[in-house]
Amino acid sequence: MTLVSAHRCLTAADIEAAIALGADFVEIDVQRTADGSLVLHHDPIDVAPPDLLRYDEALALIAGRTRAHLDLKFQGDEVAAVARAVDLLDADDLLVTTHDDVAVRAIRDWADVAGHSLMVGLSLGRGVRGFAMWQAVKVRVSELWPEVRYHDSRANVVVAHHTLARLRVGRFARRHRLPLLVWTVDTKRSLAYWMKPGRAWLVTTNEPALALGLRAGRISP
């Protein structure tokens, strides 16, 4: 059975709605402000507006009710953020993803020392807008042939944009017997494809109700 992660739940209402739907994971984007506070926000931020949901508040809403998908959007102190989530939820209820290879390795090493069986994914498919052509090509090549990056980072979940997953990364995950997370899948046609058993372990979507309906057979492909 393909699991469903409700994408970009940034408010208490978003989290409650995803839980009410029965999403297997609630994805929260975690940013760190200039003063070191952790908040739910997608883009970099210096000073957090007072209406942003705090990280601890979000974890408390999720704890004991469903599983949390932490998408870490900042660099530095990622291990501390994950350790806090483990304290409040338990490692078995967590999935951690980030684009940063070094952070993945640090989190995996910490989890091993702490005795936690933690799922940590290296995300493939980062934006390359503003990159020089050679830099953009280098990034895409490293994503389509990610063997070295996965070996060095020790990621134990393959996380890929749906285009990369179809091109080559899905085969890479199957060959190495690693669970595959595909993001962000929103159309009915794409969801019907990726929700078929055996194609992905987890699908991240802005349309969790549609994904769950397809999985249960309440909605025809």
Per-residue pLDDT tens for 32-61?
Answer: 998 889 999 988 887 777 789 999 999 999
Residue 46 confidence (pLDDT): 73
pLDDT band at 149 (very low <50, low <70, confident <90, very high): very high
The residues, ordered by sequence, that sit 6+ positions from 160 with a Cβ below 8 Å of its Cβ are 123, 124, 125, 143, 169, 170, 173, 180, 181, 182, 183
Q: Total domain count for the chain? A: 1
- The count of C-alpha atoms lying within 13 angstroms of the C-alpha of 152, restricted to the half-sphere facing its C-beta, is 9
Cβ atoms of 29 and 15 within 8 Å: the answer is no
Q: What is the CATH number of the domain that holds 141?
A: 3.20.20.190
- Residues 65-93 have a mean pLDDT of 96
Q: Judge whether 187 lies within some domain.
A: yes
Q: How confident is the model at residue 127 (pLDDT cuts 50, 70, 90)?
A: confident
- Copy the structure tokens of residue 40: 């739910």
**Inside any domain, residue 221:** no
Alpha-carbon distance of 118 to 54, in angstroms, equals 23
* Statement: the pTM of the whole predicted model exceeds 0.85: yes
Per the domain annotation, does 150 fall within a domain? yes
Residue 103 corresponds to which tokens in the numbers above?
């952070």
Structural domain boundaries enclosing 149:
3-216
pLDDT tens across 192-212, in order? 999 999 999 999 999 999 999
